[in-house]
Amino acid sequence: MKMKKPGKAILLILLVVLVVITSGLGYVRYFKPDVGAAPQIKIISNPQMIERGRYMANHVMSCIDCHSTRNFSEFAGPMVAGTAGKGGDRFGPEVGFPGTFYAPNITPAALKSWTDGELFRAITTGVRNNGEPIFPVMPYHYYGRADSADVIAVIAYLRTLPAIENEVPASKADFPVNFIMRTMPAKAHLQPKPDTANQLAYGKYLVSTAACQDCHTQVNKGELIAGLEFAGGRTFDLPTGKVSSSNLTPDATGIGSWTPEQFVSRFARFRTESATHQVVRAGEFNSIMPWTMYAGMTDKDIKAIFTYLKTLKPIKNQVVKFVPKG
């Protein structure tokens, strides 16, 4: 007895699979992201609010760092004067990104058509005013756990920046990330800022809002490796070589032997003009961490961060901080 050729059955199965995949991609393309409408917010700012926003945007959330021009011929890539918020920082495949992404212009020149609610939604959920997703090189998942008052303060501050006309190229994700990233935005889970007198709770809040975990945790295919939180070792390519983030856990290979004073001093050293503009030559150690931005935090806030970091699980990970280019 002859067996029937399986050609038609295989073709039918492939057709069904194709229909399922096409339907799934269509659903993601037209129905994601789904975080709800932008809230109806009209911010009435005051000097205190703007100052809090300036502090958060420059020294904690570090928004101004990525959305300005950094000079990596100097240590830690300090911001070039006069570029605050103009955008253009590039994150491409040469440093491991699945596409080419640009930090947009966030000065009033580019934000004049955005409502306060649209900005709030973008910062806390990762969805632009046109409904398109933002690739999470901007850590909106962390900003979405901040105090709404701090987010509002940041928006109020951004509205006061000098308007800079700078048209930034559109970001473009590779396939299939261009579809996957549509599923990444999530509704915000905002939380009240803890009492600053509670150093542990407030330190945890600052660490989360600053997204410290992202840079200080190793990744695999873009995902943070579970069990290695804050243990450092994530690598970044700089013009002078490859730099790795420090271990922030209270292990001997991290900050286990550090005192609060030593931790504060590590930031405070970058508060002087000479420290802000240290020239880095070929092959010399450099850092991607915006020390000159974080140096603007108060000693009290830095100590709160240290208090929280000391409660983390110690993870043994001796990091080779820098490998110069050959």
Give the type of residue at 219. Answer: V
pLDDT at 309 over 70: yes
Mean pLDDT in residue range 270-289: 91
- pLDDT over 70, % of the chain: 90
Residue ranges of the domains in the chain? 41-193, 195-326
Instruction: Count CB-CB contacts under 10 A for residue 56.
Output: 23
Tokens 């010399």, located at residue = 284
How far apart are the C-alpha atoms of 236 and 256, rounded to whole Å?
Answer: 24
Confidence of residue 94 (pLDDT cuts 50, 70, 90): confident
- The better pLDDT of the pair 94, 181 is held by 181
Do the bridges between strand 235-238 and strand 241-244 make them parallel or antiparallel, or are there none, so unpaired?
A: antiparallel
- Would you tell me how many other CB atoms lie within 10 Å of the CB of residue 242? 14
Average pLDDT, the chain: 91
The answer, yes or no, to whether residue 8 has pLDDT greater than 70, is no
Per residue in 23-36, pLDDT (tens digit) is: 544 544 444 588 99
Per-residue pLDDT reduced to its tens digit, 51-70? 999 999 999 999 999 999 99
Distance separating alpha carbons of residues 26 and 179, to the nearest angstrom: 9
**What pLDDT score does 18 carry?**
56
Q: How far is CA 166 from CA 21, 26, 89, 104, 121, in A?
A: 39, 34, 12, 9, 23
How far is the C-alpha of 173 from the C-alpha of 126, rounded, in Å? 15
Quote the Cα angle for 284-287-291, to 5°: 130
> Are 243 and 77 a contacting pair, CB within 8 Å?
no
Residue type present at position 54: R
Q: Give Cβ neighbours of residue 147 (< 8 Å, ≥ 6 apart).
A: 190, 191, 192, 193, 205
| Cα 173 from Cα 184, distance rounded (Å) | 13
Is the predicted pLDDT of residue 217 greater than 50, yes or no? yes
Are 166 and 88 in contact by the 8 Å Cβ rule? The answer is yes
Handedness of CA 135, 63, 297, 43 (dihedral sign): negative
Q: Within its chain, how far is the Cα of 308 from the centroid?
A: 20
Q: pTM value?
A: 0.90
- 250 vs 234: CA distance, rounded Å: 18
